Amino acid sequence: MTRKLLGAPAAALILTLSFAFSVGAADRLYSGKPIRALIVTGGCCHNYPFQSQAIADGIGKQVASEWTVVNEGGKGTRGQIELYQNADWAKPFDIVIHNECFADTDSAEYVRRITAAHKSGTPAMVIHCAMHTYRAAAFDDWREFLGVTSRRHDHQSRYLVKSVAKKHPVMKGFPSNWVTPMDELYIIEKLWPGAEALASSVSETTGQAQPVVWVNSYRGTRVFGTTYGHSDDTFRDPVFIQLLARGFLWAAGK
């Protein structure tokens, strides 16, 4: 792996990562032309430098890929990612991973610059607090893009994850008895019409099953999502990383 630090605003971290692991082709999920992936991250509540490295390392070992990481917006709940000021922000990439956490940012103009890129066909993977990002907004553009509406979560616990769409390619090889490391269960108020739940976990508070893995067709664009990803230990779990790798490939059309 090589790492290059690119020019960036003082508050931002932008990295380009390239992977050339000596892994046999038979052991990899995809060995074709490298997929150009962008991770957009920042905001409150999580260890984003570690998570970004874990995503790029974990998927990169299984998938031919090139990675750019943009960490902007500070550590609060009202930040904005400077990258999104450019209307063509997504054009250099084959897929975007959203792992930002800005619950109180509510500018329609700003949010629609993000969703416009995905309406135009850029696939996405959305992780954990991306679902609570822009939750203060009075409009639904981001939620339609995600495929779910969520505004709160249950306590941290170790949750059993049950596949509910075993034939979907994302769930291939997913174990029947996987229990998460300590993580948060998000409460899903709405599964949007274009979304399909792939796995669920049961709330220890209400006894109700909540979608925790899904895919979404956003105006024809593929989006893969999971509400898990709060703790560093979740990103250390090989089952979780394998799930992300398969969701990444599905969203990218590979």
* DSSP notation for 2-18: EEEEPP--TT-EEEEEE
Cα–Cα distance between 66 and 60 in angstroms, integer? 8
**Residue pair 234/240 in contact by the 8 Å Cβ criterion:** yes
> Phi and psi dihedrals of 112, rounded to 5?
-75, -20
Residues of the chain with pLDDT under 50: 1-12, 18-26
Residue 24 sits in a domain whose CATH number is 3.40.50.880
Cα–Cα distance between 172 and 135 in angstroms, integer? 32
Report the domain count for the chain.
Answer: 1
pLDDT of residue 14: 55
pLDDT of residue 28: 87
For residue 121, give its domain range. Answer: 2-251
pLDDT of residue 16: 56
pLDDT of residue 5: 30
- Predicted TM-score (pTM) of the model is 0.91
